Structure 1
């Protein structure tokens, strides 16, 4: 089958690679000519394990190519729209790029071409897509909503081995074609109407965000009553009705999906005069949780003015260079505003972070221990393996004051104690080792 992908970000590029691997002929289209040149040279514009190797092989086999020309869609049996729908100031999804892309490709669509929307869009958007095509061409087009559920850092694995595929359409023909396209990936295919498919995406991400905020609230309560949230979460997760996934206390979620989708769902509810109280609380808890690092520093060191603070982690999670809505973008500027010198390290996220925030008080290092040298505290914000595997005794030896603030509960208490670090973890008061009043 001939497939055209419109939009070559995370979703579009990984989707294109996945379909090409299944044997289809795929062209990925984006109006950013610099990005197309980069991709055509076999260099992905995102950090994702194994992606470059797949791209180079599939390009060599002439199953995957890249173009800046939307007229390439004229040859496609299926056009997949995967452009970004960023969050507007009011929290709603901005459909400007989506509408522009649909209107530009509409004149090139054949009558039998299926338009598949993989962008995360508000309920009712697929119907609007058909309206935009009709306004441009005077013809009807079959649309199908196939929301994506891939995770950054494991996007290829999630694409090749999805938990489920959701296909929404009111066209039996379009649904059958989309179903056949995805059948090699999983037997767990749910067919539904357009609006329900659109809602499933938001409901899924909002529920996962709710689990994260819930366990973070439990962690804060554990801090006050002397319980260990890690053991609490383990006990909860043993109940199959609850499950252990996303019950990991820390400094909250970030990235391109959870923050955007929770706000968008809140806007969807508001547009129909529904007060989604639970979701409001989830968002508030997540934003507040980021201050845990600052509170922990204050508890261990008092003022940080004039001190050196090492920050391990800029990306919102391990395995990706994505810093969108990352806790680091809230925490680091606050450290700077309080007068600290910040020494940062991240295996992949430096470039994206520096595009979002640059300051003369922030210095970057390629190695974790180099960033920690002479620091009065290390704050772990992203649990990359390279940080988790640091020799903690060696870490203590290079620091000016051996304070470790673990925002991801990444370390074992026994190892921390043996290293002699003054340690604070989220919701684990039993492990807290408080620094003496003077660290001189």
Structure 2
């Protein structure tokens, strides 16, 4: 989308030579992985991040989160002098391209926050020269690029071009997928789309152009809302199977074997920094035009309700065992997912399960463990619980072990092996059906999973 006054046909910046090719505003999960890969393919990249600790770690080639291959890649580009992180744009330092990657969390009322987008846009507006290309990569309410970012950039009086190029990678596979996934490039003008495409063509050979800013914004929201719908249906199947004392894992796995028209996901906790919010943003975008998305709303309801339903079952099981003394609960897997592995706690439904367990069992001793999240991080982020350094430490003499994410390490020992370390009258509740392929003899007498409350394999 070219803004008035009209940009020069070349689409190139004029005036002072730019010491950086690209400025990435926001060095979170999206920004740091992108900045690193852009630097790897030869761009000179400036990363702007207001958190001084993240800037210092980046300049020391130390990622502030776990991502496969990122530490080595970051070290390479830092050694090559192609990536520098700063807390604010230095004076007299501009770039040819600006990519906004800041977060868009929901506020206390469940509405998408735009303050970080607005702040980043103002920083870009102050720093850019005429004819800069500004790319919005954050996940946003439809219309944000045109009505928020463009409006702020226009107030600078400078010429610029704007495109929306959403991020669609999986945490744990970001470096690989940045080079493999099709990149959506949305802008109102063909020349702007081609200019943005030239940036991402250095990363991936697969570019998909769409003809408006809003089309690109909607695509990202559709992607994540569709995944939420799929997982919600799987959790609905699990609820029905529980009601009929049937194994949902068997129903889903058997039903789709050799039958491509049915490809139901397995049930489990649904959260994370994207799925917990993007369907809400999609629905709010529709409501802005007088439309309510009933299926989207229902899917969020199913997935957000699951922790309460399952914790209610866990508490009833504990009560039925007439446990003497203080109840000990082990909660394994605190990151929002385990495959691909991550240490990201944002939007983790494990934290919601923990919150509900603490409310329902105020006197219980609760121990948490995660195969990836650092102990010091867990201790700082998860209050009033014990933090274990190993599975065996966490489950020792536990009355219940709750397996809350799908990291492979949490399924390495059979339920019988786990129960040997637990209290004699203990049971296991598995949100991810790690063991539902096992026989009755291998499962032991007290294994329950989402969609399989009989313990029968």
Contact 2:446-2:455 within 8 A present in 1 as well: no
Q: Does 1:255 align with 2:277?
A: no
- Counterpart pick for 2:370 among 303, 323, 346: 346
Question: Which residue number corresponds to residue 17 of structure 2?
Answer: none
- Counterpart pick for 1:166 among 180, 184, 204: 184
| Worse-superposed segment, 30-39 or 194-203 | 30-39
Give the 4+ runs in structure 1 shifted more than 6 A: none
Deviations 1:320-344 (A, max 9, x none): 1112221222221222231321111
TM-score (norm 1): 0.90
1:256 is paired with a residue whose SS is helix
Question: Which residue number corresponds to residue 426 of structure 1?
Answer: 450
Question: Which residue number corresponds to residue 295 of structure 1?
Answer: 312
Count of matched residue positions in the alignment of Structure 1 and Structure 2: 426
Please state how far the C-alpha of 1:229 moved relative to its aligned partner: 2.1
| Worse-superposed segment, 72-81 or 148-157 | 72-81
Query: Aligned partners of 1:27, 1:405: CA distance in 2, in Å?
Result: 47
Please state how far the C-alpha of 1:224 moved relative to its aligned partner: 1.8
Query: Aligned partners of 1:432, 1:296: CA distance in 2, in Å?
Result: 17
Unaligned runs of 5+ in 2: 1-19
| Worse-superposed segment, 234-243 or 378-387 | 234-243
Query: Aligned partners of 1:231, 1:414: CA distance in 2, in Å?
Result: 11
The 3 A distance-change label for structure 1 pair 112 and 240 is farther
| Worse-superposed segment, 412-421 or 334-343 | 412-421
Deviations 1:89-113 (A, max 9, x none): 2322211111111112212212221
- Counterpart pick for 1:316 among 327, 333, 336: 336
Q: Does 1:374 align with 2:393?
A: no
TM-score (norm 2): 0.87
Query: Aligned partners of 1:47, 1:4: CA distance in 2, in Å?
Result: 23
- Counterpart pick for 1:50 among 60, 63, 69: 69
Deviations 1:279-319 (A, max 9, x none): 11111101111134323323432267821111111111011
Deviations 1:246-296 (A, max 9, x none): x1211x211111111111122222222212111111111011111343233
- Counterpart pick for 1:183 among 198, 201, 206: 201
Query: Aligned partners of 2:439, 2:394: CA distance in 1, in Å?
Result: 21
1:152 is paired with a residue whose SS is coil
1:317 is paired with a residue whose SS is coil
Question: Which residue number corresponds to residue 282 of structure 2?
Answer: 265
Contact 1:413-1:431 within 8 A present in 2 as well: no
Deviations 1:10-32 (A, max 9, x none): 00001111211222121211122
Question: Which residue number corresponds to residue 436 of structure 1?
Answer: none
Contact 1:425-1:432 within 8 A present in 2 as well: no
Question: Which residue number corresponds to residue 134 of structure 1?
Answer: 154
Contact 1:323-1:353 within 8 A present in 2 as well: no
1:166 is paired with a residue whose SS is strand
Contact 2:121-2:153 within 8 A present in 1 as well: yes
Contact 2:131-2:158 within 8 A present in 1 as well: no
The 3 A distance-change label for structure 1 pair 322 and 50 is same
2:273 is paired with a residue whose SS is coil
Question: Which residue number corresponds to residue 399 of structure 1?
Answer: 422
Please state how far the C-alpha of 1:392 moved relative to its aligned partner: 4.0
The 3 A distance-change label for structure 1 pair 230 and 420 is closer
Deviations 1:153-200 (A, max 9, x none): 2222221221x2111101322211221222241325233310111111
Query: Aligned partners of 2:118, 2:281: CA distance in 1, in Å?
Result: 17
Q: CA RMSD in A?
A: 2.2
The 3 A distance-change label for structure 1 pair 414 and 332 is same
Question: Which residue number corresponds to residue 327 of structure 1?
Answer: 349
Contact 2:415-2:447 within 8 A present in 1 as well: no
Please state how far the C-alpha of 1:114 moved relative to its aligned partner: 0.5
The 3 A distance-change label for structure 1 pair 351 and 213 is farther
Deviations 1:47-95 (A, max 9, x none): 1122111101111122222122314794312111111111122322211
Question: Which residue number corresponds to residue 56 of structure 2?
Answer: 37
Mapping 1:142-157, distance limit 5 Å: 142-157=161-176
The 3 A distance-change label for structure 1 pair 292 and 354 is farther
Please state how far the C-alpha of 1:374 moved relative to its aligned partner: 0.8
1:223 is paired with a residue whose SS is helix
Contact 1:296-1:405 within 8 A present in 2 as well: no
Query: Aligned partners of 1:347, 1:327: CA distance in 2, in Å?
Result: 16
| Worse-superposed segment, 189-198 or 303-312 | 303-312
Query: Aligned partners of 1:379, 1:417: CA distance in 2, in Å?
Result: 20
Contact 1:322-1:352 within 8 A present in 2 as well: no
Please state how far the C-alpha of 1:132 moved relative to its aligned partner: 0.4
1:302 is paired with a residue whose SS is helix
